[in-house]
DNA sequence: CACGAGTGTGAGTGGTCAACCACACATAAA
DNA sequence: TTTATGTGTGGTTGACCACTCACACTCGTG
């Protein structure tokens, strides 16, 4: 049974990935300022002190989380685009919307985007991450869909409307105004 | 010279209004969790302790600020609708958009909306205020413009896109993707 | 002037936060 | 087994937070 005993410790790189994944849930509720590093640590199952071994500061951790989310969103859109390849811009954009809706069905991804936007106002590092994230997203959607400016713009405007619906849990309100805002928007 | 000397002290009601007005600027930068009551007090020119005489808690203060902003937005749309009365839905909605663009030219109103959305996720009182605010806004826009569901929805989606542009200061970035997102969106 | 009611503050309070550090334990290679 | 390196934590620190309270001042009225 040579090396039967398994490693008990993770490598730092594995831990960083764990933290990135679990921190999404932690930051999703209360955003950058409202979430403590202790909460992030608890979500990852490590001590608060160790968070500071893996990331130099709370800000750099949050930035890494935001970047991680943008990568996931992009990957989701790429998947959809690959499946709908060769179709018209409308069809590709619709497939992207569907894929996006499925990706963020647990809402956390979307809430991170919302909180990243909010933090971007005062935190330059976050602002830069958000800019880069949307820059790549917009260019990708434009290229992959082949749609016109207006269509691409509307695609993102609809995404932003989703942020609003999720943030105030519009699903839980049964009224004409929520039906107006959420008309035609898929969600799971 | 009977009552020549003017009052030196404000009434509590006047102070409350001052605080509501100035707190917009304070909360606009870092949102609900990121802004301290001391900052709000300094913006209003009063002591931090007195903030707690005027409002029972930080949360109720923030909620009042959010409601105040929604009232201002609604008033702005009403003004625009009155001027464009009798025109087609498109024209009315465009006039509303113009008026809205002028109202939030200093960005603070819009940033409060963004931060209110973010705080709504975890703070039930804020969520209720945001729901009420948008409920009235949507119903008003629908009624005053006479537009179809889709038009009203697009109106708000465009507004949400403005939040994104303002939060990451897209104006400061000269690139194709910012031009795509901000195409046709007036701002002053 | 006197006096009650309203306006306003300085100086706290207990609690929490991001960040740090000394130290313990696990691992891999010599 | 020894040693160097990497993984991980308990305990702390100084700053700062929302919120409170005793007290001072101003005002309108009789």
Q: pLDDT, tens digit, for every residue of A129-160?
A: 999 999 999 999 999 999 999 999 999 999 99
pLDDT digits (tens, 9 = 90+) for B94-133: 999 888 888 877 889 999 999 999 999 999 999 999 999 9
- Asked if strand D contacts A50 at the CB level, meaning under 7 A, the answer is yes
pLDDT band at B9 (very low <50, low <70, confident <90, very high): low
**A157 and B152: CB-CB below 8 Å?**
no
As a whole number of Å, the CA-based R_g of chain A is 19
CA–CA distance, B123 with B121 (Å, rounded to integer) = 6
Q: Tell me the DSSP string of chain A.
A: -TT-SPP-SPPHHHHHHHHHHHHHHHHHHHHHHH--HHHHHHHHTS-HHHHHHHSSSHHHHHHHHHHHHHHHHHHHHHHHHHHTTTS-HHHHHHHHHHHHHHHGGGSHHHHHHHHHHHHHTT-HHHHHHHHHHHHHHHHHHHHHH---HHHHHHHHHHHHHHHHHHHTTGGG--SHHHHHHHTT----
Question: Residue A3's pLDDT is what?
Answer: 36
Considering only CB atoms, which chain B residues are within 8 Å of A111?
121
Whether A7 has a pLDDT exceeding 60, the answer reads yes
- Averaged pLDDT, B13-30: 96
> What is the C-alpha separation between B81 and A159, in angstroms, rounded?
27
Substitution target in A33, A58, A110, A167 with the highest count of B β-carbons within 10 Å is: A167
What pLDDT digit, counting tens, does each position of B62-98 carry?
A: 999 999 999 999 999 999 988 888 889 999 999 998 8
**Which of A111, A118, A180 lies nearest to residue B114, judging by beta carbons?**
A118
Place of tokens 């949050």: A62
CB pairs under 8 A between A and B: 145
Q: What pLDDT is attached to residue B3?
A: 35
Angstrom distance (rounded) from CA B20 to CA A187: 37
Q: What is the mean pLDDT of residues A47-69?
A: 98
Question: Which bases on strand D have an atom closer than 7 Å to a protein beta carbon?
Answer: 6-11, 16-22, 26-28
Query: B41: pLDDT confidence band, cut at 50, 70 and 90?
Result: very high
Chain B residues whose CB is inside 8 A of the A157 CB are 154, 157-158, 160-161
Distance B1 CA to C1 C1' (A): 20
Residue B46 to residue B64: CA distance in whole angstroms: 18
What backbone phi and psi angles, to 5 degrees, belong to B168?
A: -105, 15
On the question of pLDDT at B53 being above 70, the answer is: yes
Task: Identify the DSSP state of B122.
Answer: T
CA distance B9 to chain A (A): 35
Our measurement of CA B140 to C1' D9, in angstroms, reads 57
Question: pTM of the predicted model, to two decimals?
Answer: 0.94
What pLDDT shows up at residue A4?
40
The pLDDT, as a whole number, for residue B6 is: 63
A1 pLDDT exceeds 60? no
Instruction: Say what the pLDDT of residue B187 is.
Output: 82
Q: Looking at CA atoms only, how far is residue A27 from chain B in angstroms?
A: 11
Please tell me what DSSP assigns to residue B134. H
């Amino acid at each position: 049974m040579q090396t039967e005993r398994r490693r008990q410790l993770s490598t730092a790189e594995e831990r960083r990935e764990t933290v990135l994944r679990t921190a999404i849930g932690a930051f999703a509720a209360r955003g950058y300022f409202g979430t403590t590093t202790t909460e992030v640590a608890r979500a990852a199952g490590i001590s608060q002190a160790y968070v500071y071994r893996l990331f130099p500061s709370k800000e750099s951790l949050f930035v890494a989380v935001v970047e991680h989310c943008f990568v996931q969103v992009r990957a989701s859109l790429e998947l959809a685009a690959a499946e709908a390849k060769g179709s018209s811009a409308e069809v590709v954009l619709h497939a992207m919307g569907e894929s996006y809706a499925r990706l963020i069905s647990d809402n956390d991804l979307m809430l991170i985007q919302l909180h990243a936007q909010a933090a971007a106002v005062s935190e330059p590092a976050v602002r830069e991450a958000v800019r880069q994230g949307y820059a790549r997203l917009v260019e990708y959607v434009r290229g992959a869909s082949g749609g016109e400016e207006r269509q691409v713009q509307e695609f993102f405007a609809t995404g932003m409307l989703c942020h609003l619906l999720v943030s105030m849990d519009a699903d839980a309100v049964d009224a004409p105004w929520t039906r107006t805002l959420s008309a035609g928007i898929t969600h799971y």
